Structure 1
Amino acid sequence: MYAHLVWFDQPRNADELAAVDFARTNRIGPAVATVPGLLDFYELRRADGSGMVIGIADTEAALHAVSAAILATELLPGEDPALLPGPDRVEICPVLTHHDLATIYAQAVPS
């Protein structure tokens, strides 16, 4: 399993966040939904609009395929590239351990 860490370090205003949300829902989400091996992703956002996206996939190749799928999309009508500057940093890391809390809790509770 691998994690894709994508940082957006700079604060983003309401217009930029609206553009990001629109892109995720209408362009990026549908593109990555077709990539085999993508397990899940989490979007974290601070009050100032900065944050990160964490993607989890079966393989490193799947994460590269996710990036390729996103980069292959064309902006939709009305999307302003100035409002979508892209990430500040990107990193792929192997996931060393994963703890399924449901399993941990089930083992902790006596039958």
Structure 2
Amino acid sequence: MHIQIISFDGPRSSEVVEASSRAGRDRIAPLIEADPDLRAQLLGGFRGVGPDGAECVVILARDAAALDSLERLVVTSELLPGEDPTLLHRPSRVDRYDTSESFGHLAELLAGVQS
């Protein structure tokens, strides 16, 4: 299993945070849903936003190729009507890791997935 952590440093305005949320929810998630192969390779993820608007997106995938496919999908997707490109910032950092172990209840949920 592979992990990608995408970080957006704060401070970020509420408008930038909402634009990021909308992009993920209304543009990127439907594109993933429309691609059965990518959907099968991506296990899910988490998005966290700090009080200063900093954001962290953690994505779990079966392999690194899925993360590469997701990146291509995101950077080549057309903006939706009303999306303001000036509010969509590039990440501060993108880090990738191979999973060495999982623990707690998450380990039980992912038991059949880790390789």
Instruction: Specify if TM > 0.5.
Output: yes
CA distance in 1, matches of 2:25, 2:98: 27
1:40 corresponds to: 44
- Percent identity over paired residues: 31
1:84 aligns with 2:88: yes
What TM-score do the two structures reach when normalised by structure 2? 0.82
Give, as a single letter, the amino acid of the residue that structure 1 aligns with 2:22.
F
1:31 aligns with 2:31: yes
Residue 102 of structure 1, CA deviation? 7.3
Residue 61 of structure 1, CA deviation? 0.6
CA distance in 1, matches of 2:70, 2:41: 9
Q: Deviations over 1:69-94 (max 9, x none)?
A: 11121011111111001201111110
Unaligned runs of 5+ in 2: 109-115
1:19 aligns with 2:19: yes
1:98 aligns with 2:92: no
Taking only aligned residues, the RMSD between alpha carbons, in angstroms, comes to 1.7
1:62 aligns with 2:57: no
Give, as a single letter, the amino acid of the residue that structure 1 aligns with 2:83.
E
What TM-score do the two structures reach when normalised by structure 1? 0.85
Give, as a single letter, the amino acid of the residue that structure 1 aligns with 2:89.
P
CA distance in 1, matches of 2:99, 2:74: 22
CA distance in 1, matches of 2:79, 2:107: 42
Runs of 4+ in 1 over 3 A off after TM superposition: none
1:71 aligns with 2:79: no
| Cα distance, 1:61–1:16 mapped onto 2, change above 3 Å | same
CA distance in 2, matches of 1:28, 1:81: 15
Aligned residues: 104
Residue aligned with 1:30, SS: helix
Unaligned runs of 5+ in 1: 105-111
Give, as a single letter, the amino acid of the residue that structure 2 aligns with 1:26.
D
